[in-house]
Amino acid sequence: MILHELISYDVLRVIWWLLLGVLLVGFAVTDGFDLGSMGLLRATAKTDVERRTAINAVGPVWEGNQVWLILGGGAIFAAWPQLYAVSFSGFYLAMFAVLVPLILRPVAFKFRSKRESAAWRNGWDWVLCITGLVPALLFGVAVGNVILGVPFRLGDDMRIYYDGSFFGLLTPFALLCGLVSLSMLLMHGASWLVFKTEGEVARRAARYGVLFALLTTVLFAAAGVWLGSINGYVITSEISHIGPSNPMNKTAAAAAGAWMHNFQSYPALWVVPGIGLVMPLIVALGLRSRREWLSLLGSGLAIAGIILTVGAAMFPMILPSTVDPRFSLTVWDSSSSHVVLFIMLVCVLIFLPLILAYTSWVYAVLRGKVDIAAIATGKGHSY
């Protein structure tokens, strides 16, 4: 027996679809509190010492959290090459709009305290704040466009043509998804600041965290109601789960309310959006009662519930085409080969536990709250 045949092609495709969701959730939960904390920097920290305290809450770990972004991009490139080609070419300007803040953020972390000038530090604080808010918003806008479908088509030679524009991505539903993402990550960032800081920074973060937790539930519920009325996409022909990756071997169609079909067919799936709706309320309760672990755990679960709701609604679609639904990418016709998926799975089983173990060790070493007194007196490292 050939080794890769130990796991059938269709099972491997589903495994990699699940792994893609895990990596997206991992990035949103870890790097999400970095973005959210810095997005709230100007609101939760008023003095230089307070801002340095908030920055030190994420400063030692933000670089390690970027691993999840790299893993996600690598997984898309290797496991779902057509998805990578469409998204990274069609969303070129949108990707650039996200990458610029992600590039400026480390510069701000490194250069903020290089000079004693108040104007210098104030300027970099604004950079940290903006580079936290912009990606948080645009990530949600991107997800909204994936749900709506993307204007791309395939040529006879499988070459990809993108017929959209950057401003065409800023539709009302996509912007609502962006607000869900922004509110969700600000809630998560506030929960992290409460978990890692004390004094006025933590108190202000708790107040903003309650606000954004309630707003997350409201916005997510509104997006869910809207989702039920917009066009989803369904496969209308037979499709082989173990066939070659060629999206043009099927037919598909847009249908109103199609994104609700999976929930209607498998009622147990309603648990997933239920988590996304209820957990922000648990976060608000935890912040009001100063139960730091409860609020941080609740915000992480809320993020997982909201992101996984998208996957549960769209399966087996990955990226629908609004030009012609036949070109839409699905789990069954846009993956890498059987051998590639198997080899990559072996690599994941080896390296992902190592990454999790190392990350857990780092967080264990850095446990505890930021010492604001040490920052105020200049003792120890401070950003």
Q: What is the DSSP string of 230-244?
A: SEEEEE-S---TTS-
Q: Which residues partner with 152 through β-bridges?
A: 162
* pLDDT score at 279: 97
Instruction: Report the percent of the chain where pLDDT is more than 70.
Output: 97
In which band, very low, low, confident or very high, does the pLDDT at 378 lie, cut at 50, 70 and 90? low
User: 3-class DSSP state for residue 352?
Assistant: helix
- Both tokens of 166, joined, read 């950057």
Helix axes 199-227, 48-58, angle to 10 degrees: 60
Residue 67 pLDDT more than 90?
no
* pLDDT score at 376: 67
- CA angle, corner 158, sides to 88 and 78, nearest 5? 45
* pLDDT score at 189: 96
**What is the per-residue pLDDT across 89-124, written as a single tens digit (0 to 9) for each?**
777 888 888 889 989 998 988 888 888 888 898 999
- Find which of 94-108, 280-294, 361-375 is predicted with most confidence, using mean pLDDT: 280-294
- Find which of 69-73, 231-235, 352-356 is predicted with most confidence, using mean pLDDT: 231-235
In which band, very low, low, confident or very high, does the pLDDT at 327 lie, cut at 50, 70 and 90? very high
User: 3-class DSSP state for residue 329?
Assistant: strand
Residue 380 pLDDT more than 60?
no
- Both tokens of 338, joined, read 């059987």
Helix axes 9-39, 48-58, angle to 10 degrees: 170
* pLDDT score at 61: 84
**What is the per-residue pLDDT across 328-347, written as a single tens digit (0 to 9) for each?**
999 999 999 999 999 999 99
CA–CA separation, 116 and 362 (whole Å): 30
- Mean pLDDT value across residues 260-289: 95
* pLDDT score at 62: 82
- CA angle, corner 366, sides to 365 and 367, nearest 5? 95
**What is the per-residue pLDDT across 182-225, written as a single tens digit (0 to 9) for each?**
999 999 999 999 999 988 999 999 999 999 999 999 999 999 99
Mean pLDDT of the chain: 90
Half-sphere exposure of 170 (CA within 13 A, CB side): 7
Which amino acid would we find at residue 154? L
In which band, very low, low, confident or very high, does the pLDDT at 163 lie, cut at 50, 70 and 90? confident
* pLDDT score at 306: 97
